[in-house]
Structure 1
Amino acid sequence: MPRPRSLNPAQLAAAALAVLDRDGLDGLSMRAVGKELGMSTMSLYRYVTDRGQLEELVVDLVLGLTEFELPDGTPYERLRILAERVREAVGAHSAVVPLLLIHRHKSIASRQWGEVVLGVLTDAGFTGRARVIAFRAYLSYVLGALQTGYHSPLAGAGTTALREQEHFAVLAETAHAAGQVSAEEEFREGLELLLRGFKDATKGP
């Protein structure tokens, strides 16, 4: 029997991403990725220990699609661009969304993105404790918005069900209004609210 061909992490990640794009998160398995690569499941264990390591490779691959070089502009314009670039990269592979928070600390691309964001926050006037809080708020918004959009989209069944809530009038009214908001508007206008708060925080008393 011929020896299995050698693979690099990029090839493994690309194969796992192909499975995710086609079959969703539930379809991702060592067996499915082995089949995608034309090799046995056992041969795949020469390169990764388990599905979790495959997930790490995929997260790094998708976040690595983000462009880190930024045009000139205010810090807030650059923060807006960084957020939208992550959304675009991840949006093209939505099944990756649930994996982002789990594996982001092990992703080199995630750390590169974080370093750039922190540099821009520094340019905006955030240092020390204030920079920690601003970075966490920004990270929470970007990743949280992606998670919410994936698990509970405005056009989803959950929002539709909320429109019929008789005992929660404001909730029902808001669910009706949600039908007029696109996913792009939800992300960008929510981000603007956050960035407006950042501007106010750096103005001083």
Structure 2
Amino acid sequence: MAKAPAHRSIHSDGVPITRERILACALDLIDRDGIDGLSMRRLGKALGRDPMTLYRHAPNKAALLDGVAESVLGQLEVDTGAGEWTAQLREVARGFRRLALAHPQVVPLLVTRPLSTPLGLRPLGTLRPLENILTLLTAAGFTDADALHVYRALFGFLYGHVLNELQELVESPDESDDLLRLGLHRLPIGEFPRLRGLAPVLASYDGAAELERGLDILLSGLTATLAEPDSPG
């Protein structure tokens, strides 16, 4: 009988143990137990394999985390075809938010992990959104440098937005008074009158609506301050 290829192992159930299957299982574990809940031992147990057999697909936990981030970002669609660039960037922003809400435990990997790795050393899949957005914007007439500026501004905003949306805002959810629900009653009224006064607004936080407001401000500001792109000829 021919041996299985070196890059895949066959489990007793006949299903190949591939890198894709390993990353999908790792993502499930992170979704359930967080990044700290992921280990080669637990991953091997979930897959029904000796953890040592997984190292041919991921040499260490760091590589495994990079692979999970790459697999999630691989789901972010960027339409580089014809269309108004601000509308297309809105769709990118909405897609990123959907991924963040679907995998909140992975958000630290998407936001902070790439910052500690030089661009040229990052997994290729994590760079494709950047390349595709640069392609979209330069096709719309922006210079390469301005396209990069737009990308940085957009994702700087998105990272802050999803981190803010995912954090716990309510201290006492059973309270009917917004000031008590958010714990703002603890703030001295003489020192924080405006923040206390915003309790109803803070308590009615709508992540989707907040994203759209932020994009309105960001994209209108970029349109006003950057040179208008030339229309493709």
TM, length-normalised to structure 1 = 0.83
Q: Report SS of the residue matched to 2:182.
A: helix
Q: Please give the alpha-carbon distance, in whole angstroms, between the structure 2 residues aligned to 1:201 and 1:56.
A: 35
Partner of 2:183: 161
In the TM superposition, what is the alpha-carbon distance from 1:71 to its structure 2 partner?
6.6
Moved over 6 A (4+): none
In the TM superposition, what is the alpha-carbon distance from 1:194 to its structure 2 partner?
0.7
Quick check: 1:82–1:117 contact (8 Å CA) kept in 2? no
Q: Within 5 Å, give how 1:1-205 maps onto structure 2.
A: 5=10, 7-69=17-79, 72-104=82-114, 105=119, 106-150=122-166, 152-153=167-168, 155-157=169-171, 160-162=182-184, 164-166=186-188, 167-202=191-226
In the TM superposition, what is the alpha-carbon distance from 1:124 to its structure 2 partner?
4.7
Which of these two proteins has the greater Rg computed from alpha carbons? 2
Per-residue CA deviation, residues 139-164 of structure 1 (Å, 9 max, x unaligned), is 211222222223x25x4449913454
Q: Report SS of the residue matched to 2:22.
A: helix
Provide closer, same or farther for how the CA distance between residues 65 and 141 of structure 1 changes in structure 2, counting only shifts above 3 A: same
- Aligned residue pairs, count: 200
Q: Which runs of 5+ in 2 are unaligned?
A: 11-15, 173-180, 229-233
Quick check: 2:137–2:147 contact (8 Å CA) kept in 1? yes
For 2:150, the aligned partner's letter is A
More helix by share: 1
For 2:101, the aligned partner's letter is G
Taking only the aligned residue pairs, the percentage that are identical comes to 30
- Say what the alpha-carbon RMSD is for the aligned residues: 2.7
Q: Report SS of the residue matched to 1:142.
A: helix
Quick check: 1:164–1:172 contact (8 Å CA) kept in 2? no
Q: Please give the alpha-carbon distance, in whole angstroms, between the structure 2 residues aligned to 1:185 and 1:60.
A: 28
TM, length-normalised to structure 2 = 0.74
Quick check: 2:29–2:37 contact (8 Å CA) kept in 1? yes
